[in-house]
Amino acid sequence: MYAEHTCFVVGESKSPGNNAITKKYDSFFAGFVVDMKSHEIVDVECTAMLDITVYFVHSLFIGKKMTDGDSVEQAITNRYFGSSQKALIVAFKQAQLKYCDIMNI
């Protein structure tokens, strides 16, 4: 399904205590499939209670570069107003750090 030159990285964070994600999963996870040649995010999945959340998260990340943290964080801040907004940002930053470490960048 994914090209040989892709990798998978996961970021984890905590959602607010009153969030259904926290009650069901305990933590918030976001997994990213990244093209290691272009650093482009080609797929993403996150722990979510609503399918529309996953679809919207796709629109925030797919086509963006894993190395463009500031613009991705800005997009989340400006467009995603779910209770797990901060958890999504933290999970992305954690996955980004792992990716940069793997790629030595």
pLDDT of residue 18: 56
CATH code assigned to 6-103 = 3.90.1010.10
Give the orientation angle of helix 69-79 with respect to helix 51-61, to 10 degrees: 140
In the chain, what are the domain boundaries?
6-103
pLDDT of residue 63: 97
pLDDT of residue 98: 97
Model pLDDT for residues 58-105, shown as the tens digit of each residue: 999 999 999 998 999 999 999 999 888 999 999 999 999 999 999 998
Q: Does residue 36 contact residue 105 with C-beta atoms inside 8 Å?
A: no
In what order do the strands lie in the sheet containing 41-46?
Answer: 6-13, 28-35, 41-46
pLDDT of residue 20: 47
Q: Does residue 15 contact residue 24 with C-beta atoms inside 8 Å?
A: no
Provide, rounded to the nearest whole percent, the portion of the chain with pLDDT above 90: 71
